[in-house]
Structure 1
Amino acid sequence: MKLLSEKLTSLNIFPARTFGATNDQNTTKRLGQWSTRLYIIFLVITLSILALHTMFKPQTLTKSFPTSSLNVYNDLMHDHGDALQCPCSLISSSYSRYIQIVPIYHQICSSLFVSNEWRMSIIANLLPDLSVYTIKDYRRFISAHLQFLKGLCELSIQSVDQSIHQALSSLLITNQLLSN
């Protein structure tokens, strides 16, 4: 034990040239011993920190669920948050699988006012020669206005239906499962 203690106190791993040629031999020996002790202390501290970090580092667990439900996914998401990764087998799917769009049109476009039958019943009692009516009489223009209204309604319904179809046929592209 005494020999080991002596060896440790006199241990010097730094050569004399490390401290320069201006110091005497005893000062160089003492500086080398102190530098060796400091070096060993820092080495032990660094290795201890690395060992502790490795021991207490959180481990990543990979577990596969071949078929799982949305409830299982929500529970896992609640427990693990952003650490949860759930890659999808398909990376693209159309929006029509997830959403449904039901348009609500203006009431006038679904009323009798735009039907041909109603327009014909309105103008049935009118004289064929519309010039007999005064310029301020709305009966001269009602047929054209109702046809124009019907055309606007048909155009708007067609435009909305095309936009809905285009939106629902667009693709949602992601490689991770999305929460609700």
Structure 2
Amino acid sequence: MPIVDFCRQTISSSKKFFRNLNLFKPPAGSDQNEDEQQRRVNTVITRIYLVLLTCLLIYLGLFIHSDVKEITEKRVNPYKEELDSFLSDAECPCSRISLLHGEFISLKSSLHQICSSDFVLDRWIKAIYSGSNVTYFNLNDFRTFGSAQFQALAGFCNQSNSYLQQNIDSFENSTFISPELLPRSVFQEEINSTITQFQQTVPEAFAAQLELVLQVITGNRLISGLQTNFIISYHDDPQVKPATYRHRNKAPCNCVSNHQCTSNAIFSNIFDAPTQNEFDRNTRLPGLASGCLPVTSILVSTLECFYNQACLNKLVSFFPTKEKFSAMTNSNISRFSPNAT
């Protein structure tokens, strides 16, 4: 059979098939009968149904094709403003709903300049150590507690660095969860909020642990070996008296009830049994504080003297040492001023 005749026969058969196609005729074996008029009506309905179905399929095909093309083009640069606009009106479920923060965030800690200076090293701590003479200076004399203060400061630096690194590791191993693709602005806002919360909670938790230790010391009335919170009298009637501090002409503060009592540190020319009486001929250097415990007095001290070479030289001159130390440089990078506690 020639191919032309075959095509004509196929077209003729197709026309006849679609002309008589009836999708709504009664099923075979049913009791319903279809007369000629009903058959014609069902045939027309079938044609309308097929036309509508074809139009619907074409529309859906074009719509889906356009949508896929739009998303594919946007992924070339997902940070354009158009993507945010598109995502605000679309729902794009993620194939992976969770990510570790460490996969897209890198945090680094930066400690105060003092933590990388000579003033937390043994060379400085030994240079200002008065040995067995510490209990013969005035209670507020820096030579009584200075070495212990900077031992505590060195401990704070080490503990802070370790504590920060542990919390950074924990943060980077925590999970960010989102079932849907987020606009850049929303994503950035959530990440900034998470980092801000991290920066607030870590110092607060560290301070809370330190406060707990100090409360235990105060509650159990543990006596400092430097006699900065309790003074032991060795006269005819031996007794233990709580130390009292007066800061900037405020009311006296008793170490029995408050471990945070502080006063201005001095350099006294009196070298005798431990006393808390102050005399007129005392030398005061800016920023130095005394208190019930070296660990608390260093926290209320400022480091301004250690940014000033003349002040630092004056401080070192009160100790029998030949060591030389250089003052720190005031850097604008730090968020702490030299007179910050």
TM-score between both structures, scaled by the size of structure 1: 0.51
Which of 142, 156, 161 is the matching residue for 1:157?
A: 161
Change (3 A) 1:89 1:66: farther
Measure the CA separation in 1 of the matches of 2:135 and 2:97: 69
Measure the CA separation in 2 of the matches of 1:175 and 1:83: 16
- Per the alignment, residue 106 of structure 2 pairs with 100
Measure the CA separation in 1 of the matches of 2:179 and 2:135: 72
Which has more strand, going by share of residues? 2
Unaligned runs of 5+ in 1: 1-54
Measure the CA separation in 2 of the matches of 1:82 and 1:68: 14
Larger Rg over CA atoms: 1
- Greater RCO, 1 or 2 (C-alpha within 8 Å, sep 6+): 1
Deviations 1:2-28 (A, max 9, x none): xxxxxxxxxxxxxxxxxxxxxxxxxxx
Unaligned runs of 5+ in 2: 1-55, 185-341
Change (3 A) 1:153 1:132: closer
Amino acid at match of 1:85: E
TM-score between both structures, scaled by the size of structure 2: 0.30
- Per the alignment, residue 68 of structure 2 pairs with 63
Deviations 1:92-137 (A, max 9, x none): 11011222222232222232211223222443xx5x4315853354
- Per the alignment, residue 46 of structure 1 pairs with none
- Per the alignment, residue 96 of structure 2 pairs with 90
CA contact (8 A) 1:95 1:168 kept: yes
- Per the alignment, residue 174 of structure 2 pairs with 170
The number of residue pairs the alignment matches comes to: 123
Measure the CA separation in 2 of the matches of 1:93 and 1:177: 13
SS in 1 for 2:77: helix
* Identical aligned residues as a percent: 30
Measure the CA separation in 2 of the matches of 1:103 and 1:95: 16
SS in 2 for 1:93: strand
Change (3 A) 1:146 1:70: farther
Q: How far did residue 176 of structure 1 move?
A: 1.9
Change (3 A) 1:121 1:133: same
CA contact (8 A) 1:74 1:179 kept: no
CA contact (8 A) 2:134 2:145 kept: no
SS in 2 for 1:71: coil
Q: How far did residue 68 of structure 1 move?
A: 7.6
Change (3 A) 1:157 1:129: same
Amino acid at match of 1:146: F
What RMSD, in angstroms, separates the aligned Cα atoms of the two structures?
Answer: 3.6
The alignment status of 1:130 with 2:133, answered yes or no, reads yes
CA contact (8 A) 1:76 1:84 kept: no
CA contact (8 A) 1:77 1:84 kept: no
Measure the CA separation in 2 of the matches of 1:70 and 1:87: 19
Measure the CA separation in 1 of the matches of 2:74 and 2:123: 56
Measure the CA separation in 1 of the matches of 2:97 and 2:136: 67
Amino acid at match of 2:94: C
Q: How far did residue 78 of structure 1 move?
A: 4.8
